[in-house]
């Protein structure tokens, strides 16, 4: 089935009508907030809700992603097409690392993917996008709670985040802390300039500065646990 609401097209199975209503309501409320952050105009976006992991994985593989049977990937943003693919909440909860996820977590995952689409709109060079900056701003703006309670320090090097992001434990969460540090210490204009050319940042310096910022401000109750999205 298909539902179109303003600039959002939602494709879903008939049995997931109630879920689709929740998703479209959430998207209409939250997507404009992300557009405003990046200072871009609203653009047409499609959201495909998949009720079969194998079909979802096949679609991802056709797009060049490598998703195995035990992958924890539950959503994806096709940046060249402005399409978000996401598993139904029922299937989402069966995937590794997502077994204890709430419906709020599910909705934040969709928002995370939308941040990726919006970020692409302001990039000056789409071939130069460090994963830790891409995932960091998406994790931060979607307000995903990803580290164990009380964790308030990045326990890896900037080189780990820059060069070996997807094999670094808690990389999503740590990158979210970096994005939060930047957002809270830079003007919005400066933040957008950084996001336009994220490859120019010095990851090692950012990790050091973020840890000093966190220590100085005695950040409490941070929850950043590594969940692949």
Q: Supply angle C-alpha 183, 186, 188, rounded to 5.
A: 75
User: Which residue is it, tokens 């009380």?
Assistant: 150
- pLDDT one digit per residue (tens) for the chain, 229 residues: 999 998 999 999 999 999 999 999 999 999 999 999 999 999 999 999 999 999 999 999 988 888 888 999 999 999 889 999 999 999 999 999 999 999 999 999 999 999 999 999 999 998 899 999 999 999 999 999 888 777 789 999 999 999 999 999 999 999 999 999 999 999 999 999 999 999 999 999 999 999 999 998 865 444 444 555 6
pTM, full prediction = 0.93
Per-residue tokens: 67: 């998703």
> Residue 49 pairs with which residues in a beta bridge?
86
C-alpha span between 162 and 132 (Å, rounded): 6
Query: CA–CA separation, 188 vs 1, rounded Å?
Result: 40
CA distance 54 to 165: 26
Pick the CATH number of 1-122 from 1.10.238.10, 1.10.390.10, 3.40.50.10070, 1.10.10.10: 1.10.390.10
Q: What is the pLDDT of residue 152?
A: 80
Query: What residues pair up with 84 in beta bridges, in sequence order?
Result: 47, 77
Spans of all domains in the chain: 1-122, 127-229
β-bridge pairing 45-50 and 83-87: parallel
Kindly report the length of the chain. Answer: 229
What's the token pair of residue 101?
């996820």
- Please give the full DSSP string across 184-227, using - where no structure is assigned: HHS-HHHHHHHHHSGGGS-HHHHHHHHHHHHHHHT--S--B---
Residues pairing with 3 in the sheet: 10
Q: What is the pLDDT of residue 227?
A: 54
The rounded radius of gyration (Å) of the Cα atoms in the chain is: 17
Are residues 162 and 134 in contact, defined by beta-carbon separation less than 8 angstroms? Answer: no
Closest CA to 113 of 193, 186, 8: 8
Q: Are 7 and 28 in contact (CB under 8 A)?
A: no
Per-residue pLDDT at 225: 46
User: What's the token pair of residue 106?
Assistant: 């599910």
């Amino acid at each position: 089935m298909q539902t179109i609401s303003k600039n959002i097209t939602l494709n879903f199975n008939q049995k997931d009508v109630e879920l689709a209503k929740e998703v479209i309501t959430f998207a209409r409320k939250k997507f404009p907030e992300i557009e405003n952050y990046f200072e871009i105009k609203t653009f047409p976006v499609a959201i495909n809700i998949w009720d079969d992991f194998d079909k979802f994985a096949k679609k991802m593989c056709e797009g060049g992603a490598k998703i195995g049977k035990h992958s924890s990937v539950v959503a994806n943003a096709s940046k060249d097409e402005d399409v978000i693919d996401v598993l139904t909440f029922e299937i989402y909860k069966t995937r590794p690392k997502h077994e204890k996820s709430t419906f709020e977590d599910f909705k934040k995952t969709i928002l995370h993917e939308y941040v990726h689409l919006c970020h692409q709109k302001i990039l000056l060079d789409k071939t130069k996008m460090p994963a830790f900056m891409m995932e960091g701003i998406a994790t931060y703006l979607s307000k995903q709670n990803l580290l164990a309670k009380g964790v308030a320090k990045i326990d890896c090097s900037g080189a780990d985040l820059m060069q070996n992001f997807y094999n670094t434990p808690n990389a999503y969460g740590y990158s979210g802390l970096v994005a939060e540090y930047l957002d809270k210490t830079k003007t919005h204009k400066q933040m957008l300039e950084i996001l336009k050319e994220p490859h120019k940042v010095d990851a090692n310096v950012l990790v050091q500065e973020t840890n000093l910022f966190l220590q100085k401000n005695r950040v409490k109750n941070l929850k950043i646990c590594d969940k692949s999205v």
